[in-house]
Amino acid sequence: MLTLTAQGGRLEFDCGYATLSGPVALDRKGRFKAAGVYYPESGGPVDADAPPVQLAARFDGTVSGSNLHLNFKQSSGAADQAFDMVAGKRQKLIRCL
């Protein structure tokens, strides 16, 4: 689930979230690129005193009408991920178990 504001955005995953730094601007073809930070999470107990893991992330995508195709790349070397979303359509997130 992606939420955008004039200052940036937040992307919610089943097991983590990411923030997009700065406003997201589309070019004439509906494409965008943004930098941000990914915060992976895992199931089970969490050490409340430990700082969250933060990984640099890159986002690029294309908007066409109410459809968004988003590519997500994180600095840990994990495989790139792609998401297709529709504006206004809420997704059911199943949090880490």
d(CA 24, CA 93): 24
- pLDDT for 94: 75
Judge whether 42 lies within some domain. Answer: yes
pTM of the model: 0.82
How far is residue 16 CA from its own chain's centroid? 9
Among residues 57, 60, 64, the alpha carbon closest in space to that of 39 is found at: 57
User: Does 97 have pLDDT greater than 70?
Assistant: no
Token pair recorded at residue 67: 């459809």
Report the number of distinct structural domains present in the chain: 1
- pLDDT for 36: 95
Its domain, for residue 19, covers 2-86
What does the pLDDT look like over 38-96, one tens digit per residue? Answer: 998 887 777 888 888 899 999 999 999 999 999 999 888 788 889 899 988 877 777 77
Judge whether 92 lies within some domain. Answer: no
d(CA 75, CA 3): 22
Among residues 38, 47, 44, 46, the alpha carbon closest in space to that of 9 is found at: 38
